Structure 1
Amino acid sequence: MIELYTAATPNGHKISIALEELELPYRVHALDLAAKEQKQPAFLHINPNGRIPAIVDGNNDDFAVFESGAILLYLAEQTGKLLPAEPKARSRAIQWLMFQMGGLGPMMGQANVFYRYFPSKIPEAIERYQNEGRRLLEVLNQQLSHHAYLAGDSYTIADIACWPWVNGHEWSGISIEGLPHLQRWLAQIAQRPAVQRGMQVPPKDDDTPQARAARISQMVTR
């Protein structure tokens, strides 16, 4: 079984969605980010960077994988699904995966920080990251004007990587008005049962003191 260490964030939801799409058995360890559970020595043994998500693959000698893009690639390669085998099609999917990892996630993440969380509102910072986030959504819209999915006609890990971030556009304060192809893709993927299930991971009732103590205990015993 795969052990999934996660939280209810776009990066966390990427992996729970992928696991649901691939129908792989997994067990959820929901980390309390505010309590710094991701910085516990036991979790740092799994992910030295101290960030979610991470997995430990019990089907592969307890092999640990961190960084959400690397996890998506690992799962796709292990199963032979959600990533084309043909070299050019495979490259296109990986290119859009890297687009999310290097651009969409960091820019929308910074928009979240300055728009929602930063104690002082800095208009220049908010505008910078919201404008760049909107530009990146326009790039996706243009790509989707020619293709059903980001890498072509097939649903891949590129779509799984980008969708949770685009789905959270309102939280970033970024409009998707005037982006009809992006809106179509967003709604289309939202209808997938595996996506709906993955977005419910971790369940909200996991955030109890007893559950937190159990999570830390499980990490320590790995």
Structure 2
Amino acid sequence: MGGFFLKKNYSTDMSKKPTTYSEFEQIRDSLLKKAIKYFRDNSDLNDEMLLQDLIKETRQQFDKLEGLYKGSTSDSGVTKKRLKRKDRLLRKEHVGRYFLRLMEHELREAGIHQSLIPVFANSIHYLAGEENIGLWTDKINRLMEFGEKKGADYETILDSKPGKMISREIMSTYKKEIEKSPSFAKKMKNNLDEALVKAINPDVDGDVDIEAAVEKAYSEFIKRLDS
């Protein structure tokens, strides 16, 4: 990323530079302002949640940057790999957020450590399977496309009636998969334990009983899943 910024002396390979520096500069400034505002408004989130949300919030700007740079034929393989990786990240992010949406606020209200929220969200991916993930992704993408045409932002689309229907569908499948997975509780608690150990900051969190915190988080999650 650093190589993109503040360099007006571009190489002679015209296929790799933006059409005009001012156009690049506008997108750069927009990205920086959005990131600064987002960090200010969401200081309670951990780094992973911030990163996931910023990927979503800045997707359009980065798409514009990709459009400004025309890679050479030799770079096409690298570009395709990057796009595939980006698609996987967005796909994982969307399904996880829709899955957890109906209970996320209550989990935070219950005092669940913020580092554990992504663990619950991402657990849908090792339970549901690629076929289900693909179906939900298609539904979410169609809903987002429709909502964006109507001028709705991401949060509004997420909380819309069809958005909540997708969330309930994902939760229903999740509960069925738990019943078929006797090792689910152990795996989930291990993931929660690992995430919490990495995230705890004694200066901020004080003394934390990891085992008790994990048990509470798991219990609150299951309770809301069954409600």
TM-score by length of 2: 0.28
Structure number having the greater helix percentage: 2
Structure number having the greater strand percentage: 1
The structure number with the bigger radius of gyration is 2
